């Protein structure tokens, strides 16, 4: 098979979608020697990395070919936004194209596999920008009409998709869980002025869906009640609708108790996960919850939400809270004052995390590629309507 693979979000400052594509393609090309991979650094019309030709995942493998690295933004938009079918010859004439950044181009010959992350932009439109909601909705809607196979990153995401698009054939869906990119031998880089086992940790892009403001309010109440001097460390790049977060921290009197690190590299993140007192992640909505898995994999005690996909990841190895209830989050902080409970969670976390791996994900995706070629190419709704009116 010739498999076209979207690596457009694997460049600098990558977040969830980029980590998925980056980790998956590295494991695919390592474990699959029978197929050829065509890697597209520019993909679709909803995401653009001006350094895509150099910043995205670079794989010097005999079964890999990098394509579209030379495209300017204007050229990329012209190529992917054509009203006609995509010129598949310029894509290397793939048998399959796998999209990973919410865009859903239309292909004439190639089967199209679409990665579905979540539907938070529909379930919680208040937690995203208008532009992002528009891009995500268009991509998922088009995928519901014309994708040959959808890979959801959790059972929760698959079920929400099928509830919203009930006519999409369930046999054209698969669930493929993510893995952790951190291993025991991963390099570590400590953070100055942070003592091991003496800080709480929160990791994630700064956006309302991550529930950071309610978490900060809960943390403030907790330290006021229990006089805990351990700071709360925030690691993650700037997202949307959180531009005044620093003012919020000042206004609730937390300046001396918060360490904002911004976007950190993997070596630093590895050290933070391993050395935090506990990892705190009461997110409102997740398609999977990769930071929870990464923290568990490295032996952190985890506080997370009892909603969406997170119980699929944590099972009985984490402490759950209601993310909409500030008092419940306060109680979560308080419960982990008990070091015995903390040690139980630290013991159980890596054992649960072993159920997930990128090697397993790569094998499942390879099988999905085989399966999609055995299915007839999915007919889009426009073509169905055209056939109906012509009959």
C-alpha angle with apex 99: 97 to 100, nearest 5 degrees? 150
Does the residue 314 lie in any domain?
Answer: yes
* For residue 386, pLDDT beyond 80: no
Write down the residue that tokens 């204007």 correspond to.
Answer: 74
Is residue 82 located within the same domain as residue 95?
A: yes
Ranges 223-227, 307-311, 387-391: which has the least confidence = 387-391
Of 48-52, 118-122, 237-241, 260-264, the poorest mean pLDDT is in 237-241
- For residues 250 and 169, membership in a common domain is answered with no
**pLDDT confidence tier of residue 380, bands split at 50, 70 and 90:** low
Is residue 22 located within the same domain as residue 84? yes
- Token pair, residue 30, equals 């390592």
Q: What is the mean pLDDT of residues 117-125?
A: 95
Do 362 and 32 touch, CB atoms closer than 8 A?
Answer: yes
Query: Model confidence over 134-178: pLDDT tens digits?
Result: 999 999 999 999 999 999 999 999 999 999 999 999 999 999 999
Number of domains in the chain: 2
User: Is residue 209 domain-shared with residue 123, that is, in the same domain?
Assistant: no
Pairing of strands 173-175, 96-99: unpaired
What's the domain range around 364? 2-179+358-390
Q: Is the pLDDT of residue 382 over 60?
A: no
In this prediction, residue 148 carries a pLDDT of 98
Is 261 exposed, middle or buried (CB count within 10 Å of its CB: 0-12, 13-18, 19+)?
Answer: middle
Of 112-126, 163-177, 231-245, 320-334, least confident by mean pLDDT is 231-245
- Asked if residue 388 has pLDDT above 70, the reply is no
Average pLDDT over residues 175-190: 89
Number of other residues whose CB lies within 10 A of the CB of residue 165:
15
Q: Are residues 164 and 282 in the same domain?
A: no
Assess whether 268 and 316 both reside in one domain. Answer: yes
60, burial (CB in 10 Å: exposed 0-12, middle 13-18, buried 19+): exposed
**189 found inside a domain:** no
Per-residue model confidence (pLDDT) at position 32 = 87
* Poorest-pLDDT segment among 3-7, 103-107, 156-160: 103-107
Q: Are residues 67 and 169 in the same domain?
A: yes
pLDDT 10s digits, 192-234: 999 999 999 999 888 888 999 999 999 999 999 999 999 999 9
Give the pLDDT band (50/70/90) at residue 306.
very high
Given pLDDT bands bounded at 50, 70 and 90, which one contains residue 390? very low
Do 28 and 151 lie in a common domain? yes
The residue-averaged pLDDT of 248-265 equals 94
Q: Are residues 280 and 295 in the same domain?
A: yes
Does residue 192 lie in a domain region?
no
pLDDT for the residue 175:
98
Question: Is residue 184 one of the residues assigned to a domain?
Answer: no
Q: Same structural domain for residues 256 and 131?
A: no
Percentage of the chain surpassing pLDDT 90?
A: 86
Is 188 a domain residue? no
Q: What pairing do the DSSP bridges indicate for beta strands 64-67 and 111-116?
A: unpaired
Element (H, E) at 29: helix 16-31
Residue 193 within a domain:
no
Confirm if 174 and 149 have CB atoms less than 8 A apart: yes
> pLDDT grade, residue 15 (50/70/90)?
confident
Mean pLDDT of the chain: 93
Instruction: Examine the domain organization and report whether 43 and 169 are in the same domain.
Output: yes
> pLDDT digit string (tens) for 37-65?
999 999 999 899 999 999 999 999 999 99
Stretch 22-37: mean pLDDT, rounded? 94
Residues 219 and 93 in one domain: no
Does a structural domain hold residue 185?
Answer: no
Q: For position 28, which CATH number holds? A: 3.40.50.2000
CA–CA gap between residue 138 and residue 202 (Å, rounded): 31
pLDDT at 391 over 70: no
Domain for residue 320, yes or no? yes
Amino acid 256: pLDDT = 95
């Amino acid at each position: 098979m010739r498999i076209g693979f979207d690596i457009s979000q694997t460049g600098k400052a990558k977040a969830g979608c980029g980590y998925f594509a980056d980790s998956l393609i590295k494991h695919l090309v390592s474990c699959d020697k029978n197929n050829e991979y065509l890697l597209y650094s520019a993909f679709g019309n909803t995401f653009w990395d001006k350094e895509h030709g150099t910043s995205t995942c670079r794989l010097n493998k005999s079964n890999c070919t990098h394509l579209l690295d030379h495209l300017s933004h204007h050229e990329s938009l012209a190529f992917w936004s054509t009203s006609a079918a995509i010129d598949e010859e310029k894509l290397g004439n793939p048998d399959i194209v796998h999209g990973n950044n919410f865009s859903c181009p239309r292909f004439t010959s190639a089967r199209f596999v679409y990665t579905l992350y979540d539907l938070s932009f529909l379930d919680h439109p208040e937690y995203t920008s208008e532009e992002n909601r528009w891009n995500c909705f268009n991509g998922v809607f088009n995928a519901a009409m014309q994708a040959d196979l959808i890979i959801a990153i959790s059972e929760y995401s698959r079920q929400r998709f099928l509830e919203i698009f009930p006519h999409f054939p369930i046999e054209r869906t698969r669930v493929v869980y993510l893995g952790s990119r951190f291993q025991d031998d991963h390099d570590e880089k400590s953070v100055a002025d942070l003592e091991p086992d003496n800080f709480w940790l929160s990791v994630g892009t700064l956006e309302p869906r991550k529930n950071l403001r309610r978490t900060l309010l809960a943390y403030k109440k907790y330290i006021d009640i229990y006089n805990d001097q351990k700071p709360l460390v925030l690691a993650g790049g700037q997202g949307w609708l959180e531009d005044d977060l620093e003012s919020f921290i000042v206004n609730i009197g937390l300046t001396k108790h918060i360490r904002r690190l911004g976007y950190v590299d993997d070596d630093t993140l590895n050290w933070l996960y391993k050395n935090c007192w506990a990892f705190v992640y009461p997110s409102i909505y997740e398609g999977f919850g990769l930071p929870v898995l990464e923290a568990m994999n490295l032996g952190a005690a985890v506080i997370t939400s009892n909603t969406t996909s997170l119980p699929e990841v944590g099972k009985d190895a984490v402490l759950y809270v209601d993310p909409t209830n500030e008092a419940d989050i306060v109680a979560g902080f308080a419960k982990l004052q008990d070091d015995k409970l903390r040690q139980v969670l630290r013991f159980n976390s890596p054992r649960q995390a072993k159920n997930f791996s990128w090697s397993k994900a790569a094998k499942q995706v390879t099988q999905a590629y085989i399966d999609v070629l055995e299915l007839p190419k999915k007919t889009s709704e426009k073509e169905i309507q055209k056939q109906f009116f012509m009959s």
